[in-house]
């Protein structure tokens, strides 16, 4: 029988490594997707996730409200990603500096649309817009939850979400140019 998250968090706080490992296994894909919004180098993405896990393990006893576990670990991840991004700026090609690969839009605008992955669709958006769209669409966080994670006003989140969607729509309608 699978233990519930609350029990796992309590055991992890008591130093149970297996419980902590189970918690991480539950969200490892989310952590990767979120890190990929900020970092383009696979090694940096892996470093950010690993550093997040280490930091979370060392500090889980400081988590006051168990129900905020996911928000707490995502905040750690975002901080680790930002640190790695700044440290490796020369090596990282950010989405902001990356020119679109028009290979998706060769003959007909929508010929290869089904081949596009979520991250190629996000190409050209700001970091905040990519992060918010990822949290909203891939991870099913509500506007309110995203607002708490990013410590931004809900209206700001709504605006960036709408702006990001509009940029994607314009890009697709123009054939990616």
Domains of the chain, by residue range, sit at 1-93, 95-177
pLDDT of 60 above 60 = yes
3 Cβ neighbours under 8 A, 6+ residues apart:
11, 19, 22
pLDDT at 97: 45
Only one residue has tokens 């020119």, namely: 99
pLDDT of 112 above 60 = no
Q: What is the mean pLDDT of residues 155-161?
A: 95
pTM recorded for the entire structure: 0.71
CATH class of 1-93: mainly alpha
- Which one-letter DSSP state was computed for residue 113? G
List the single range of 54-58, 156-160, 168-172 with lowest mean pLDDT: 168-172
pLDDT at 124: 82
Q: What is the mean pLDDT of residues 154-164?
A: 94
Q: What is the mean pLDDT of residues 53-79?
A: 94
pLDDT at 171: 77
List the single range of 48-62, 73-87, 112-126 with lowest mean pLDDT: 112-126
Inter-residue contact 39 to 32 (CB < 8 Å): no
Report the C-alpha gap between 130 and 128 in whole angstroms.
5
Residue 98 tokens, joined: 């990356």
61 Cβ neighbours under 8 A, 6+ residues apart:
13
pLDDT at 53: 95
Residue 133 tokens, joined: 């769209």
pLDDT above 70 as % of the chain: 80
Model pLDDT for residues 3-46, shown as the tens digit of each residue: 688 999 999 999 999 999 999 999 999 999 999 988 888 899 99
CATH 1.10.10.10 for domain 95-177, yes or no, is yes
pLDDT at 116: 56
pLDDT of 107 above 50 = no
């Amino acid at each position: 029988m699978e233990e519930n998250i609350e029990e796992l968090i309590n055991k992890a706080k008591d130093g149970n490594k297996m419980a902590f490992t189970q918690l991480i296994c539950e969200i490892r894909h989310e952590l990767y997707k979120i890190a990929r919004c900020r970092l383009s180098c696979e090694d940096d993405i892996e470093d950010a996730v690993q550093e997040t896990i280490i930091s979370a393990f060392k500090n889980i006893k400081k988590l006051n409200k168990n129900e905020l576990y996911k928000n707490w670990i995502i905040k750690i991840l975002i901080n680790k990603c930002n640190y790695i991004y700044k440290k490796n700026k020369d090596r990282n090609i950010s989405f902001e500096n990356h020119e679109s690969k028009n290979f998706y839009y060769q003959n007909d605008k929508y010929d290869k649309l089904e081949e596009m992955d979520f991250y190629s669709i996000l190409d050209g958006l700001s970091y905040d817009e990519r992060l918010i769209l990822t949290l909203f669409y891939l991870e099913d966080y509500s506007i309110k939850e995203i607002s708490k994670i990013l410590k931004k006003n809900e209206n700001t989140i709504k605006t960036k979400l709408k702006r990001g969607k509009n940029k994607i729509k314009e890009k697709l309608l123009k054939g990616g140019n």
